[in-house]
Amino acid sequence: MNLQASRGDGFLRTDQLVKRFDGIAAVDDVSLSINKGEIFALLGSSGCGKSTLLRMLAGFEKPSSGVVMLGGVDIASFPPYERPINMMFQSYALFPHLNIWENIAFGLKREGMPKPQIDARVAEMLKLVQLEAFSKRKPHQLSGGQQQRVALARSLAKKPELLLLDEPLGALDKKLRERTQFELINILESVGVTCVMVTHDQDEAMAMASRIAVMSHGRVLQVGTPKEIYEHPNCRFVADFIGNVNLFEGELTVDAADRCEVTTPWGVINVGHGISGTLGMAAAIAVRPEKIHISKSRPGVTVNLFTGKVLEIAYFGSYNTFIVEVKAPDGWPRTVKIMETNTTRYESSVITWDDQVFFWWDDSAPVVLTQ
Ligand SMILES: Nc1ncnc2c1ncn2[C@@H]1O[C@H](COP(=O)(O)OP(=O)(O)O)[C@@H](O)[C@H]1O
Ligand SMILES: [Mg+2]
């Protein structure tokens, strides 16, 4: 794991940031360090405190305690308009009676920027979001995706040091959202602005962010690159929240430098690294569906090998998903999800419903979770 990347250079820092509403912590002890030029995502389900955290960065919400530092300066006493920060709201909040040009120019005029400079900046912003041809239209004469770009152009017009995006693609439908993700990243990267975005959509966070903070109940559970969070989740919640995962609960029975074993009601699961835990402690084995092999014939392996019956198959074109039922003691997950990439066109039809199958994984595939 790249610890440097995980820690950040501290351009934007929060230290033990807390926000309580009526005694209940909406944001609970959040310490983050974000790099200059980074696209950083706050990811979590609705109500976990993402917007409240973002609003404290913007200055719209006063922290109950804790510190926000930008470029080494404590900005707690700065009102929103004195922070080199701009926030783009989910609703875009465009002025309906102003045309696109005027919407983008609004903040610049209020700042007292001379007219020729405003003209140049608005033209630059319109070019950036590729809406030059639409400058005289009103917001309602644009599509949702175009309105989103106007809101972005307006947010970037004052050249903020930090851009805050609250569910930037939340108002768009799924297909348009996926297309817009890449446009948005391209624009943000071309201006090089540091960006903190909020989303409840894990695919969006994975596609767009250089690093992600996974939040739950006001707390940040893990910070890492999309790959770190996917491959090395630090707790059951993160493993389960990001992507698909099979979790097998058991107890740590061997823990050496280069290997450990977790004993589950299904049998012993072998892992190719140690965890420096305490023998007997509760531990879950997390295995991603695509890291499990499946076959009708017995493979030449003896560890992490199980058998079961195929309950369900779903074809997704580029891959298949199998739900395999395992005869297991009561109280155990009775099914395992396995994903197989379709590398050849005909092979996938070999396994079908009700087949008895073997499934297994390499000892490098699992992650051991004790939290
Ligand atoms: N102004 C407020 N007054 C009281 N409670 C609030 C206020 N703003 C947010 N909350 C509460 O704080 C929690 C986090 O809300 P929010 O930050 O909007 O979550 P998210 O953006 O992750 O959906 C929720 O329980 C919400 O009801
Ligand atoms: Mg929100």
pLDDT band at 345; cut points 50, 70, 90 = low
pLDDT band at 2; cut points 50, 70, 90 = very low
Q: Which residue type is seen at 265?
A: P
Counting ligands in written order, which one lies closest to the CA of residue 214? 1
Structure tokens at 4: 């440097």
Query: Which residue's alpha carbon is nearest to atom 17 within ligand 1?
Result: 49
* 144 Cα–ligand 2 center, Å: 19
* 56 Cα–ligand 2 center, Å: 13
Pocket of ligand 1 from Cβ distances under 6 Å: 21, 26, 44, 46-52
**44-59 pLDDT per residue, tens:** 999 999 999 999 999 9
The closest-lying atom of ligand 1 relative to the alpha carbon of residue 167 is 21
Which position has the higher pLDDT, 95 or 316?
95
**What's the per-residue H, E or C state across 310-360?**
EEEEEECCCEEEEEEECCCCCCCCCEEEEEEECCCCCHHHHCCCCCEEEEE
Question: Which residues, listed in sequence order, are joined to residue 222 by a DSSP beta bridge?
Answer: 214
**56-103 pLDDT per residue, tens:** 999 999 999 999 999 999 998 899 988 999 999 877 789 999 999 999
Do 291 and 361 contact (CB within 8 A), yes or no?
Answer: yes
Is the pLDDT at 8 greater than 60? The verdict is: no
Widest CA span in the chain? 77
Instruction: State the pLDDT at residue 344.
Output: 61
Structure tokens at 348: 């996938």
The closest-lying atom of ligand 1 relative to the alpha carbon of residue 42 is 22
How many Cα atoms are found within 13 Å in the side-chain-facing hemisphere of 164? Answer: 21
Residue range 93-114: average pLDDT?
94
**142-155 pLDDT per residue, tens:** 998 899 999 999 99
Is the pLDDT at 304 greater than 90? The verdict is: yes
Residues 6+ apart with CB under 8 A from 168: 88, 90, 148, 152, 184, 197, 199
**120-148 pLDDT per residue, tens:** 999 999 999 999 999 999 999 999 889 99
Do 48 and 214 contact (CB within 8 A), yes or no?
Answer: no
Residue range 309-315: average pLDDT?
90
Residue range 182-206: average pLDDT?
93
| CB count in 10 Å sphere of residue 24 | 9
Structure tokens at 247: 């979790």
Instruction: State the pLDDT at residue 349.
Output: 54
* 47 Cα–ligand 1 center, Å: 6
Do 94 and 139 contact (CB within 8 A), yes or no?
Answer: yes
d(CA 176, CA 170): 10
* 64 Cα–ligand 1 center, Å: 14
Instruction: State the pLDDT at residue 214.
Output: 98
Query: Which residue's alpha carbon is nearest to atom 21 within ligand 1?
Result: 51
What average pLDDT is seen over the chain? 91
pLDDT band at 6; cut points 50, 70, 90 = very low
Give pTM, 2 decimals.
Answer: 0.90
Question: Which residues, listed in sequence order, are joined to residue 217 by a DSSP beta bridge?
Answer: none
Q: Is 308 helix (H, G, I), strand (E, B) or coil?
A: strand
Mutate which of 24, 42, 48, 52 for ligand 1? The one with the most ligand atoms within 8 Å of its CB, which is 52
Which domains, ranges and CATH numbers included, belong to the chain? 3-238 (3.40.50.300), 244-369 (2.40.50.100)
d(CA 289, CA 336): 8
DSSP sequence for 156-224? HHT--SEEEEESTTTTS-HHHHHHHHHHHHHHHHHHT-EEEEEES-HHHHHHH-SEEEEEETTEEEEEE
d(CA 358, CA 371): 30
Instruction: State the pLDDT at residue 5.
Output: 40
Instruction: State the pLDDT at residue 1.
Output: 33
d(CA 228, CA 4): 13
Is the pLDDT at 173 greater than 90? The verdict is: no
* 136 Cα–ligand 2 center, Å: 32
pLDDT band at 350; cut points 50, 70, 90 = confident
| CB count in 10 Å sphere of residue 357 | 17
- What are the angstrom distances between the C-alpha of 336 and each of 31, 75, 132, 214? 36, 50, 52, 25
